[in-house]
Amino acid sequence: MNIAAADWQPYRLPLNRPWQTSRGTLFERCGRLLRLQTTDGLTGWGDAAPLPEFGISEAAATAFADETAHLDLAAQKAGLPLHAWLSGEVPILSIRTNANLGAIDTVDHVALKSAVDAGFSVVKIKVGRQALADEITYLQQLTRDLPPTLSFRLDANQAWQFADARAFIEACAVLPIEGLEEPLSDPDPVLLAKLQSFAAFPLAIDESINLLDTHFFRHPPVRRIIIKPARHGGLLASIELALRARASSIETIITSSLESSCGLLACAQLAAAVAPDSIHGLATADWFAQDTGMAPTIIGGRLQLPGTPGLGFQPVTR
């Protein structure tokens, strides 16, 4: 495949509302789109959006964009949607996603009802930002009138010491919790395994990619891993990681790193390729007041995959 031209297009995109975690608050998302054009008229796209505080370096984000653009071109050349080209399976139409409601102190019953009405069965909420007892009390209040079809996916972003994490998990024993990501401020496989033994729901590794070594997969301390492909430098490395997880009976969830619609599509194509039956963290496009292109549609809690060959990214003209 002969590349005739390549260029980077920087962007700065305001958010509709602040993105709050235990590690800080984002008000905008900055990055660069990579455009590759071939001599036979194809265009491939990639998205580089570094986020160092969550382990996504400039180098890793750039590698993700570069690889995505080349894979986009290869899948277009083959006449297949990117997920089908990656997996070798028949193309699928959609994947399930969780609603992303942000920090726990911003969530109310109106937001939960809206998520139910939109067809979501899982809502993701950030915890670990307020006093432990206050968050437990508020979570209990939220669940009192919760529809039976809805459950919570919680993300602590490494907020707690072991004792607090255990107390939180024990308090959640009777609540509709679907999973808890990164409970420990100093993640340790032994301590994570202890916490998982107390929890009726899956604990998950996300930021703690340093733990994902051979010992981790031989003796999994948790039941789930979260893959953000930009953190791992690309889709192919993420596929390898997902295959290792599958061999160890660990569930894989793909989430975006709050990339623009270009990067979000890459994450969605990966999710469809490696874990088409899981519920992924990809309903993030509505956080953007502006975007780089046409975002994938969410219908009934399912992200609709482009049926066109390649990535399926359509840039907007500014």
Listed residue (99, 103, 95) closest to 112, CA to CA: 99
pTM for this model (two decimals): 0.95
Average pLDDT over residues 100-108: 92
The structural domain count of the chain equals 2
Asked whether residue 308 carries a pLDDT value surpassing 80, the answer given is yes
Answer yes or no: do 10 and 121 share one domain: no
Between CA 218 and CA 196 the distance in angstroms is 16
What type of residue sits at position 89? E
On whether residue 160 sits in a domain, the answer given is yes
Residue 318: pLDDT band (50, 70, 90) is: low
Tell me the CA distances in angstroms from 213 to 137, 174, 216, 219, 241, one per residue in order. Answer: 37, 33, 5, 10, 10
Beta-carbon contacts of residue 8 (< 8 Å; ≥ 6 apart): 32, 33, 34, 35, 48
On whether residue 314 sits in a domain, the answer given is no
Answer yes or no: do 98 and 234 share one domain: yes
> CATH code at 180?
3.20.20.120
User: Given this model, what pLDDT does residue 177 score?
Assistant: 97
Which of the 8 DSSP states describes residue 84? H
Between CA 61 and CA 114 the distance in angstroms is 33
Domain end call among 42, 64, 79: 79
Beta-carbon contacts of residue 170 (< 8 Å; ≥ 6 apart): 198
On whether residue 70 sits in a domain, the answer given is yes
Condensed to tens digits (0 to 9), the pLDDT of residues 52-74 reads: 887 899 999 999 999 999 999 99
Answer yes or no: do 7 and 137 share one domain: no
On whether residue 309 sits in a domain, the answer given is no
Condensed to tens digits (0 to 9), the pLDDT of residues 259-305 reads: 999 999 999 999 999 999 999 999 999 999 999 999 999 999 999 99
Answer yes or no: do 34 and 159 share one domain: no
Residue ranges making up the domain that contains 165: 86-304
On whether residue 73 sits in a domain, the answer given is yes
Between CA 254 and CA 269 the distance in angstroms is 10
Condensed to tens digits (0 to 9), the pLDDT of residues 139-148 reads: 999 998 888 8
